[in-house]
Chains A and B, each alone.
Chain A
């Protein structure tokens, strides 16, 4: 029983960064904009978190309201949200205002994020990565605070799309932007809102990834988690609870791949250990294969809004 609790606690903090980024990807896609740049935005959030956590924990001036160690994550969350929104502004400007190809812009942003974070950390720390910070996030009881935030976010997004007018309007931009515009909605403004929100969520996800799983930001820190989040959006059928399930499948598969090496079953230990590294991706692919029957993608996904075609 204690082992199960430990497993769930670990799986939950592995899940949260993917979950947050995927929720961001969901709102973006439901407004009709594909956000390939989730990976890059996570990287920006992660870089901000790695930098601030090191600077805050090694500085002598105490933080107001919170202690240094237990409170830094609150400040870092806000900073990562801001940085994520700013960076995702690029996607909004180029593909929503100027009708640039969403996929191409997203790919470009992923490379830009990598280069930018290395460049900035060279300037700040004279090194390709941020220095190791003394401590990451501090537990609240048995879980990291990030886990509670992840679950709250799921509820918030569920409420947004289930009960609010704004949620309905964002969805309509992704299904049929022409009709939405005819009904008097400002499609571009709604898409801006969605893209910036997704930036905030992915930035937050990147920050928590750094604070809960690693000890510094390096160019290898994100390592495809943004793309996993992108797959999670589709696997979760563009629904908050579906995405929660999908992200948790990946999170527990990752945890399982490491736990499985603890089992003293000799046949498992004879397998090449690379198999275990493959496991999370394999399980995720298999579950997509098994459980996704119907494609529920927004109808206007990836298509720029052109007022003349409505």
Chain B
């Protein structure tokens, strides 16, 4: 048979050959990694939602705790692949199958982050009674096999302080007390954030106006961006988002707006996001961050597994045991504000102020004005 060799055919061949060579290179590199077999190996797999471990907030914090346990950092995860790794589930349909995949890998521990995993975990965990699981943000799963450790947080306490700080800042500069909250997917945990934040603001400025929006997505920054633009245009002073990487859209708008000389702020969530807000040398659009130390939880679970003290228990982290709170350094807040925030922190810790964490409690405490509704849900 006679084949006429033509330019397109050559090009295709070239593409194929280069692809194969590229792939081969990669394989050789993998062989260099020699797993060390000195001590008993604790291995772990982390399952995240679509935000991924570089969402700079919630999952990033979980990942930081895991890397720290192995003496690595997220920037330099040397033992990734051999000791620990993560799987991103781009949509909720993948949760069950990915969870089974991780459970069948023979790892010491499987961690999933976020309440959107609750159904998948309660479905899968009973099928693998020998596998240890840890879930963040969920308590009270059916746990007959005694193999799930659950960690929950008093997010409302940290969010309360963030709200107090934002309202004090607005008061200090004489801005109109108008604030925004952006949530990811509505649910009980995000309600903690919203309700605590609102109560914090209203404690300082009882007549403040607070807007809310849910993107129904943990990984769609465009939505938060459009919403934040509209809000800042209408005079909103600060926006707090608890929405995974969706919230990065709001931070982006705060940066752009501040760069154009407008006095508006974003409030970080889960990790200290000050660095994410840098728009010019030494200037950040992040007023402060509500820190939720998911890294403490993942590290604790790994230590329990290593020391063979793992228990199917519920661990609650709050302001008193530094599980939530504001960051150590807040360059954008004045000393006067920080001192006042500290006062409120003390009052929450010793029970003088009770922060609501459900919509029902928030309404019955009379915090919600006449005729107003919020999008948060208790279920």
Which residues of A pack against B, CB within 8 Å? 2-3, 6-7, 10, 14, 89, 93-94, 97-98, 123, 126-129, 131-132, 134-136, 138-139, 213-216, 218-220, 223, 254-255, 258-259, 261-262, 266, 269-270, 273-274, 277
Contact = CB atoms under 8 A, between A and B. Distances in A.
24 contacts: A10-B229, A14-B222, A93-B12, A94-B12, A126-B77, A126-B80, A127-B54, A134-B255, A134-B279, A135-B256, A138-B256, A215-B249, A216-B245, A218-B50, A218-B219, A219-B90, A220-B50, A223-B220, A255-B226, A258-B223, A258-B227, A258-B230, A262-B231, A273-B214
Given A213-B225, A215-B249, A262-B230, 18 more contacts: A6-B233, A14-B222, A97-B8, A98-B8, A127-B52, A127-B54, A132-B248, A135-B252, A135-B279, A139-B256, A214-B225, A215-B245, A220-B90, A220-B220, A255-B226, A262-B234, A273-B214, A273-B216
A277 B226 CA distance: 13
Contact of B221 (A7, A138, A213, A258): A213
Contact of A214 (B214, B216, B249, B276): B249
The 7 A-B residue pairs with the shortest CB-CB distance in the complex, in nearest-first order: A213-B222, A97-B8, A93-B8, A215-B248, A6-B233, A214-B221, A258-B226
Nearest to B231: A262
B88 interface: yes
B373 interface: yes
B377 to A, nearest CB: 10
A132 B373 contact: no
A223 B216 CA distance: 15
Nearest to B214: A273
A10 B227 CA distance: 10
Contacts of A14: 222, 226
B219 A220 contact: yes
Contact of A269 (B220, B223, B279, B375): B375
Contacts of A2: 233
Chain B contact patch, size range: 35 or more
A266 B373 contact: yes
Contacts of B26: 123
Contact of A139 (B8, B219, B248, B260): B260
A135 B260 contact: no
A6 B230 contact: yes
Contacts of A3: 233-234
B56 interface: yes
Contacts of A98: 8
B178 to A, nearest CB: 12
Contacts of B249: 213-215
B213 interface: yes
A258 B213 contact: yes
B124 interface: no
Given A213-B222, A277-B216, A6 B229 contact: yes
Contacts of B52: 127-129, 218
B73 to A, nearest CB: 12
B373 A135 contact: no
Contacts of B248: 132, 215-216
Given A98-B8, A213-B225, A266-B373, A135 B90 contact: no
A262 B239 CA distance: 14
A134 B221 contact: no
B101 to A, nearest CB: 16
Contact of A215 (B50, B213, B214, B221): B221
Contacts of A6: 229-230, 233
A43 B256 CA distance: 25
B216 A259 contact: no
B211 interface: yes
A261 to B, nearest CB: 5
Contacts of A139: 256, 260
Contacts of B77: 126
Contacts of B375: 261, 269, 273
A136 B252 contact: yes
